């Protein structure tokens, strides 16, 4: 069946909170603004403070920049749907949202793996660290993460654009999620699902393996440090990153576990809220409250701003 008219989908969102939409809207707005502000502050601190001009903070700046776009892909659309009570989204907009959401998610996985590798070199190879992690290498690793994330999703989204949809055009989610969209197609999705599986498996396995191996060596090295103070100092440099890794992998794994019932679909949406909105909001807090250098840079920036106004 050919699609002779443009397809529009209905995003169900959370029908159960319809009576409380204003409260939920304001909460979502606060989370979104806090996320944008927190990540922008980290980017500006990394850019302006010379003490933060190191590979670790260069990658953190990239990570914060990615988080801003990651949360922007879904949040404004969801807020507009709630405020205007217009839950429709065109096929083109749906595919675009899918592409950017999963491209940025892939970029996040790759950046987390590179950040783990950076901590491995800093702790396990301190004498060679500055030589290996030169500015050129940092830039190459960063570009590889971004290009890998956005180029890797192109085959999948191009095949998704060829799918036919015959109705019902109802997506039981608050954004266009690829697995949910596949279920609405009235044509064979075997090829695209196979490609998605192979891509996801390779990206997740490679990034997770690199992260896991890096931390195995990190922990092994830290345990061999004779002084308690030295062990604590070494571990504190990677605690924030490890916390973010656990948050991301934990919620993402829960999200894409195969649903079997309606209540599990609703639970998946709640989990999706956590890793789509809450985790990006927590990341600036994790990196600022647990990181002495970021806190010092923030105090200096506030002090400079205060004295410049006087």
CATH code, 283: 1.20.1070.10
Per-residue pLDDT of 217-251, as tens digits, reads 998 988 888 887 778 877 777 877 888 888 777 76
How many C-beta neighbours within 10 Å does residue 276 have?
Answer: 23
Q: Could you give the CA distance from residue 159 to residue 110 in angstroms, rounded to a whole number?
A: 24
How many C-beta neighbours within 10 Å does residue 178 have?
Answer: 22
Helix 292-309 × helix 279-289 angle, to 10°: 90
Domain presence at residue 1: no
How many C-beta neighbours within 10 Å does residue 169 have?
Answer: 15
Residue 17 is encoded by which pair of tokens?
A: 């909170």
Classify residue 167 as left (phi > 0), alpha (psi -120 to 50) or beta: left
Domain presence at residue 204: yes
Half-sphere exposure of 155 (CA within 13 A, CB side): 12
Domain presence at residue 105: yes
Domain presence at residue 236: yes
Domain presence at residue 52: yes
DSSP symbol at 258: P
Q: With contact defined as beta carbons under 8 Å apart, do 8 and 184 qualify?
A: no
* Residue 292, pLDDT score: 78
> Which H or E element spans position 233?
helix 228-255
pLDDT over 50 at 259, yes or no:
no
pTM above 0.85, yes or no: yes
Domain presence at residue 2: no
Per-residue pLDDT of 85-106, as tens digits, reads 767 888 899 999 999 999 999 9
Residue ranges making up the domain that contains 171: 8-309
* Residue 307, pLDDT score: 67
Residues 274-287: what's their mean pLDDT? Answer: 82
Residues 35-46: what's their mean pLDDT? Answer: 93
Domains: count for the chain: 1
Write the burial class of residue 6 (CB in 10 Å: 0-12 exposed, 13-18 middle, 19+ buried): exposed
Q: Bridge-partner residues for 171, per DSSP?
A: 11
Domain presence at residue 81: yes
Q: Could you give the CA distance from residue 139 to residue 133 in angstroms, rounded to a whole number?
A: 10
Q: Could you give the CA distance from residue 223 to residue 219 in angstroms, rounded to a whole number?
A: 6
Domain presence at residue 23: yes
Per-residue pLDDT of 191-208, as tens digits, reads 888 888 888 888 888 888
> Which H or E element spans position 207?
helix 190-223
Least confident of 93-107, 121-135, 260-274: 260-274
């Amino acid at each position: 069946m050919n699609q002779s008219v443009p397809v529009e989908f209905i995003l169900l969102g959370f029908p159960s909170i319809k009576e409380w939409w204003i409260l939920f809207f304001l909460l979502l707005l606060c989370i979104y603004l806090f996320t944008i502000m927190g990540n922008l502050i980290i980017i500006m601190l990394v850019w302006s403070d010379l003490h933060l001009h190191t590979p670790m903070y260069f990658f953190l700046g990239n990570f914060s920049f990615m988080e801003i776009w990651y949360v922007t892909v879904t949040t404004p659309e969801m807020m507009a749907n709630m405020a205007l009570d217009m839950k429709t989204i065109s096929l083109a907009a749906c595919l675009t949202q899918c592409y950017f959401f999963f491209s940025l998610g892939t970029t996040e996985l790759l950046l987390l793996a590179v950040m783990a590798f950076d901590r491995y070199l800093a702790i396990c190879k301190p004498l060679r660290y500055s030589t290996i992690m030169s500015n050129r290498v940092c830039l190459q690793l960063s570009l590889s993460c971004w290009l890998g994330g956005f180029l890797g999703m192109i085959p999948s989204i191009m095949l998704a654009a060829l799918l036919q949809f015959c109705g019902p055009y109802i997506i039981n989610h608050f954004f266009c999620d690829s697995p949910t969209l596949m279920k609405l197609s009235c044509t064979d999705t075997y090829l695209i699902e196979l490609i998605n599986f192979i891509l996801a498996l390779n990206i997740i396995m490679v990034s997770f393996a690199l992260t896991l191996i890096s931390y195995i060596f990190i922990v092994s090295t830290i345990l061999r440090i004779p002084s308690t103070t030295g062990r604590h100092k070494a571990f504190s440099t990677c605690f924030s990153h490890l916390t973010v890794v656990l948050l991301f992998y934990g919620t993402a794994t829960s999200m894409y576990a195969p649903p079997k019932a309606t209540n599990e679909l609703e639970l998946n949406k709640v989990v999706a809220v956590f890793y789509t909105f809450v985790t990006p909001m927590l990341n600036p807090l994790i990196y600022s409250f647990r990181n002495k250098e970021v806190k010092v840079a923030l105090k200096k920036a506030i002090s400079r701003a205060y004295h410049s106004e006087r």
